[in-house]
Structure 1
């Protein structure tokens, strides 16, 4: 019974986690990227250790090659000098050193080949993982964009349905606005018709008459004839002034 309950709990937890992963693919992708970085770091540590082993083998090979050259020279010198015992001992050491050197060279070649293969495998694996990650990033972005577009389309469809369903309300609102506008226009017309314009017209005529009179006075003073008005001749001077009366002359 406990085992069955444990399986049910694991199943529920697995569904919950799977749902979280579906809702947050970016977080899962970031976790995989972090795991990839850790794997690369661990692989690089192992590769560095292998490279160190190859360097030690290379150093040992170089040391043995130098020792081989020295033993070869000693053996040759003792043999030419007639020191057969010393030459034999050096020849034996040279023979053993040759076998060790050959083995170390073989191990060095294998280590170098393994290092190159590991380096190539790392580059290929990292390139493949990065390519997959970039493809997943593009797929996630496309998913987000399509999800957003679907939500916008659903929202637009809901708005259309909502606006279509509120047609009666809009019609009633339009009727109320038209009724208020008509009443306001009627009140404005009634106020305009009830306004007493006689006094205003009288005042306007008075102002026009005063303006015409002022213009006529100015024109008369300046001796200018207004359009539609003939020039008024000046009154003749008094004949009695500066002239003689004919009757008086006859007397």
Structure 2
């Protein structure tokens, strides 16, 4: 019973963690980068220890090579001097040293090869991990950008459907404005049609006539000839001059 409940809680907690990871992929990627740095550091420590072993083997090989040359020289000297027993002891030691030197050289070659292989494997693994991390960074950025674009498109679609709805405030306001504008236009037309323009025109003509009369009286009083008056006086004078000969002939 309790184990089943524990499994349920574990499942819920796992779903919660998975949801958090989906919402924060950058944090998960940063954690993996930190783990990679730790793994590289541990690998480098092991590689350094192996390199130290190779260096010790190399130092031992050099020491044995020096000892081999010295033993070879002493064996030759004792043999030429007739010291057969000493020459035999040196020859035996030289034979044993040669076997040890050969084994150490073989181990040194293997150690060097292993070191090179480990170094190459580290470089390949690190480069592959870095390439994958960079690809993941690009994928995360692309995901964020596409998510933002999707949210903007969804928001725009929601705004279009909401603004175009029948119960929208802007639509109701537009209808009210159009209704009031139509009413105002109708009232203006009714007022214009009901207005008697004949009286207005008569009143306007009277005002113009009174203004012309006042101007003519003022001009006559001041002795100023009006331009329009001169043009009208000239034909009258011509008519009067043309009628005088007839009257004289009569």
Compared CA separation, residues 183 and 10, structure 1 to 2 (3 A): closer
Q: Contact 1:78/1:84 (CA < 8 Å) preserved in 2?
A: yes
C-alpha separation between the residues in 2 aligned to 1:155 and 1:235?
85
- TM-superposed deviation, 1:170: 3.3
Tell me whether 85-94 or 221-230 shows the greater mean CA deviation: 221-230
Q: Contact 2:163/2:170 (CA < 8 Å) preserved in 1?
A: no
Tell me whether 153-162 or 211-220 shows the greater mean CA deviation: 211-220
| TM-align CA RMSD | 7.5
| Paired residues for 1:179-190 under 5 Å | none
Q: Contact 2:50/2:111 (CA < 8 Å) preserved in 1?
A: yes
C-alpha separation between the residues in 1 aligned to 2:165 and 2:94?
104
- TM-superposed deviation, 1:209: 20
- TM-superposed deviation, 1:2: 1.8
> Per residue, is there more helix in 1 or in 2?
2
What residue ranges of structure 1 are gaps of 5+ in the alignment? none
Instruction: State the secondary structure of the residue aligned to 1:165.
Output: coil
Compared CA separation, residues 103 and 240, structure 1 to 2 (3 A): closer
Compared CA separation, residues 130 and 90, structure 1 to 2 (3 A): same
Compared CA separation, residues 175 and 146, structure 1 to 2 (3 A): closer
Give CA deviations for 1:117-169 in whole Å, capped at 9, x if unaligned.
Answer: 11111111111111111121121111111111111110000100111126764
Compared CA separation, residues 72 and 196, structure 1 to 2 (3 A): farther
- Count the aligned residue pairs: 250
Give CA deviations for 1:95-129 in whole Å, capped at 9, x if unaligned.
Answer: 11111111100110110111111111111111111
- TM-superposed deviation, 1:4: 1.3
* TM-score (ref. length: structure 2): 0.70
Tell me whether 148-157 or 211-220 shows the greater mean CA deviation: 211-220
Compared CA separation, residues 43 and 172, structure 1 to 2 (3 A): closer
Asked whether 1:234 is paired with 2:234, we answer yes
Compared CA separation, residues 218 and 232, structure 1 to 2 (3 A): farther
Compared CA separation, residues 117 and 221, structure 1 to 2 (3 A): farther
Compared CA separation, residues 66 and 195, structure 1 to 2 (3 A): farther
Give CA deviations for 1:186-221 in whole Å, capped at 9, x if unaligned.
Answer: 999999999999999999999999999999999999
